[in-house]
Amino acid sequence: MELQELKDMASQVRRDIVRMVHGVQSGHPGGSLGCTDYLVALYFKVMQHDPAFHMEGKNEDVFFLSNGHISPVFYSVLARSGYFPVSELATFRKIDSRLQGHPATHEHLPGVRIASGSLGQGLSVASGMATAKKMNNDKHIVYALTGDGELQEGQNWEAIMFAAHHKLDNLIIAVDYNGQQIDGATKNVMNLGDLKAKFEAFDWTVLTIEQGNDMAAVLKGLEEAKGASGKGKPVCILLKTEMGAGVSFMMGSHEWHGIAPNDAQLAQALNEVPATIGDY
């Protein structure tokens, strides 16, 4: 996809997100909207991946979602890139749906390689996959996305140390650096300090995408990250996003971490976000 096509896809994915969460009055719209541009860029432009889906991920790039509560954006991107029918988005969080509130492997949903309901585990799994690709002489890249508040979990830092020690330069992680988590601003809940300095101290290459909701900036940052891979160090992208990006009344507020819009709010959101491709 070219730039405008990617922007159009991101707009449609945002519509999917608010409609999915509204449909069951449950889910996490804020972080999903914030990470839309990154995931659209990754799946529709950057990654070499196969929607036919093979769990082992051999000879293709793979992605792991660590902050699994932003499943609405993940499901929308997977469906619209061909992993399963777009119409299935209408079953989000419903009884017997494969689209659970947090991604799970029990339902065998194509595109989902790990259950990520519990925070803090994705970077460990991604490091394991990157290690396997090294052992198998598979030159493809492992991508992972984590929340900034999620880095308050200690397991992440074990994985970060492991990846650097084993020179997993086929690993690119992005931190959704929106400064918000369920209980408020990360600086108030547990201050993360200087993440760039911390990752560099662990011997990672660190890049920052200052405008994580600008598609051109996201594409440029991802290409820079790919260019930095293969040079002996894992790569971290500090992805500065805004929670609720694209929907005015949700933007910048931790309150939209995990609540659904009512009917009037849905109508306002859909009025702000154009239907560029077609609703499910």
Q: Kindly tell me if the per-residue pLDDT of 117 is higher than 90.
A: no
Angle (nearest 5°) at CA 181 between 175 and 182: 145
Q: Kindly tell me if the per-residue pLDDT of 252 is higher than 90.
A: no
Helix, strand, coil share of the chain (percent; to 5): 45, 10, 45
Residue 279 lies in a domain: no
pLDDT (tens digit, 9 = 90+) per residue, 137-190? Answer: 999 999 999 999 999 999 999 999 999 999 999 999 999 999 999 999 999 999
Range of the domain at 40: 3-272
In the chain, DSSP finds a helix count (H) and a strand count (E) of 10, 7
Q: Kindly tell me if the per-residue pLDDT of 274 is higher than 90.
A: yes
Q: What is the CATH number of the domain that holds 223?
A: 3.40.50.970
Residue 277 lies in a domain: no
Residue 36 lies in a domain: yes
Rounded Cα–Cα distance for residues 59 and 77 (Å): 21
pLDDT (tens digit, 9 = 90+) per residue, 206-251? Answer: 999 999 999 999 999 999 999 999 999 999 999 999 999 999 999 9
Number of domains in the chain: 1
Residue 143 has φ and ψ, to the nearest 5°, of -110, 150
Residue 14 lies in a domain: yes
Q: How far is CA 46 from CA 40, 143, 176, 280, in A?
A: 9, 11, 18, 25
Beta bridge partners of 238: 175, 208
Residue 77's contacts (CB-CB under 8 Å, 6 or more residues apart) are: 13, 39, 40, 43, 44
Residue 278 lies in a domain: no
Read off the pLDDT band of 105 (50, 70, 90): very high
User: Strands 171-176 and 235-239, how do they pair?
Assistant: parallel
Residue 280 lies in a domain: no
Rounded Cα–Cα distance for residues 2 and 190 (Å): 40
Asked if 36 and 10 touch (Cβ cutoff 8 Å), the reply is yes
Asked if 243 and 256 touch (Cβ cutoff 8 Å), the reply is yes
Q: Kindly tell me if the per-residue pLDDT of 67 is higher than 90.
A: yes
- Global pTM reads 0.97
Asked if 248 and 257 touch (Cβ cutoff 8 Å), the reply is no
Read off the pLDDT band of 268 (50, 70, 90): very high
Q: Kindly tell me if the per-residue pLDDT of 198 is higher than 90.
A: yes
Residue 50: the pLDDT is: 97
Angle (nearest 5°) at CA 255 between 249 and 261: 55
